[in-house]
Structure formats: C-alpha cells, structure tokens
Structure 1
C-alpha cells in the first residue's frame, strides 16, 4: 500500500515526522522525504545547505 500525502505549508523535519506518525526523524527523512526531494515533489527553502537547522520543506 502506497502512502500519499501533500505538504501545503512550510514544515521542519520534526513536524514532517510527527505528521507521518514516525518517531524517528532520520527514518522519516530517509524513507519518505528524501525520495520526494529527489523527484522534485518537495523543495527546500535553503537548497545550498540541506542539513541546516533552519531548513524547511514545501511542495
């Protein structure tokens, strides 16, 4: 079963993992967010520094 979701607002890594109900932020990023970034479905607010503590994600 494939999960589908849409992020309409700016979200940080912790908010995304909470939305997905995944306790591990690292797992949520690796399993769900990174593939969406690579496919262009999610964009970074600070693309030059993807690991910035100020980083937000949007679609």
Structure 2
C-alpha cells in the first residue's frame, strides 16, 4: 500500500486519480474471496489455519 502525504499541491491530483479507478478492478478476485469467506463461516478457525498455511507457508 502506498502512503501519500497530502498538501494543497498533491491533493487534487491524488483525489482525481482515486476517483478514476474502476470499482471493478478487483472483480477477478471475488470468487476466491467468497470461497475463503464461506470456508471460514463453515469451519471457523480451522479454515483460518488452513489458509494461513496455504498463503504464508
């Protein structure tokens, strides 16, 4: 994540850039995220531990 320091010179450009972003940029991840959420709802901590092992090793 990029941290930005805002001042009067940078604020307008940064806000314009943020507003230009499509809300669908992350749509390709929706199915994967939903799968993880469903697993956590069903299996609780067990699913969290499984995904921690899968993603963090």
TM over 0.5: no
More helix by share: 2
More strand by share: 1
